[in-house]
Structure 1
């Protein structure tokens, strides 16, 4: 995992035309999306995807997997569960999903434009993917050493998108292999239900520093 220094992230929601700034504490971010092999190993399943990003993973699947991985490695689990209600112990040292602010701050890696590099060089998107996912880490990383922050598969974040309008829908970031170039930008924020499993949404791990 890569250390990410403290800073600030300014998030923008195009639907409401609202922007807000969030202080980001130091944290750790995985350099690649969780792979099929990693996902299967923790669950005790046969691996059928190797270094492809683990997809068809719901938000609830992802946070439960984070808890399992933490337990496997002797770390204090971050998440506690009551049915589909999830609580986050922010003092725990285990694995978790990044917040939206952490994700966008880590993705930008000090850049201010829509992307941290030229799109084809850093991302698998609809124009170059052959409409399928690719093994992680094949494109150029950003300045923090993080691969596929844009493209390949969308990534779950911890945050609720807009509870007043969309209830428990969670934020996804980064764009994916089936998306046009305008969706593959650091600042794009989308939403979906936490139980959805679909072929172009995966996740990436974070930990407290």
Structure 2
């Protein structure tokens, strides 16, 4: 991935919320960079050295990738570009290296901060203009970057595929399940909102779940 594909996201503060527990919590977000689009099938195959899972052309977002697959991709991409991998994997445990300059998954606070791009409503624009979802997708994913970006130049933050985040969803209740954000091509409009949280087991592969990568800092 060339650096033109990474967008500098300013620091800020975001308030996360969970409908199930009716809990809200503020998070301070440091500056970082986030990929302008989800990882594509072509990039995934190029970096991993094998065919992308599922079917479809190379500009489609990669899907049917687990959280662990996404973490492994981040480290492979880092090694390819001479960066220090962001994760140290030992069996089922993945430990982040906070000093590393490699690619990583965004935290859910970073994801929501980037999705909102300075807005405060549920969406950063009219959903039909910014997202592939059930009413616009014709029941399938679409090539990345085909809908209008938000004010910070990020495409497909809502719709197309759900995106893995680093965070545990609710470890006391759901154990190792990780956070998904953004809504997908098969979802109704109420799932395609900046604040919606979904969860999945880190080993599960689902046909409407992909990811995008982040880098710490703007350097």
Q: Normalized against structure 1, the TM-score is what?
A: 0.99
User: What do residues 21-78 of structure 1 show as CA deviations (whole Å, max 9, x unaligned)?
Assistant: 0000000000000000000001112465310000000000000110011001100100
- 2-side partners of 1:198 and 1:5: how far apart? 31
Q: How do residues 168-183 of structure 1 correspond to structure 2 at under 5 angstroms?
A: 168-183=176-191
* Alignment correspondent of 1:105: 113
> Which runs of at least 4 in structure 1 moved beyond 4 Å after TM superposition?
none
Instruction: Classify 1:199/1:76 alpha carbon distance in 2 versus 1 (closer, same or farther; 3 Å).
Output: same
Uncovered stretches (5+) of structure 2, i.e. residues with no partner: 1-5
Paired residue secondary structure (1:19): strand
* Alignment correspondent of 2:10: 5
2:80 aligned to 72, 81, 105, which one? Answer: 72
User: What do residues 148-207 of structure 1 show as CA deviations (whole Å, max 9, x unaligned)?
Assistant: 000000000000000000000000000000000000000000111001101100000000
- 2-side partners of 1:189 and 1:160: how far apart? 11
* Alignment correspondent of 1:54: 62
Does residue 1:166 correspond to 2:171, yes or no? no
- 1-side partners of 2:157 and 2:93: how far apart? 28
2:45 aligned to 40, 53, 72, which one? Answer: 40
- 2-side partners of 1:46 and 1:61: how far apart? 13
- 2-side partners of 1:159 and 1:73: how far apart? 25
* Alignment correspondent of 1:96: 104
- 2-side partners of 1:155 and 1:191: how far apart? 10
- 1-side partners of 2:51 and 2:19: how far apart? 41
C-alpha displacement of 1:91: 1.3
Q: Normalized against structure 2, the TM-score is what?
A: 0.94
Uncovered stretches (5+) of structure 1, i.e. residues with no partner: none
Does residue 1:190 correspond to 2:198, yes or no? yes
Does residue 1:140 correspond to 2:140, yes or no? no
* Alignment correspondent of 1:86: 94
- 2-side partners of 1:40 and 1:84: how far apart? 24
- 2-side partners of 1:85 and 1:165: how far apart? 19
Give RMSD over aligned pairs: 0.8
- 1-side partners of 2:57 and 2:87: how far apart? 27
* Alignment correspondent of 2:209: 201
Does residue 1:29 correspond to 2:34, yes or no? yes
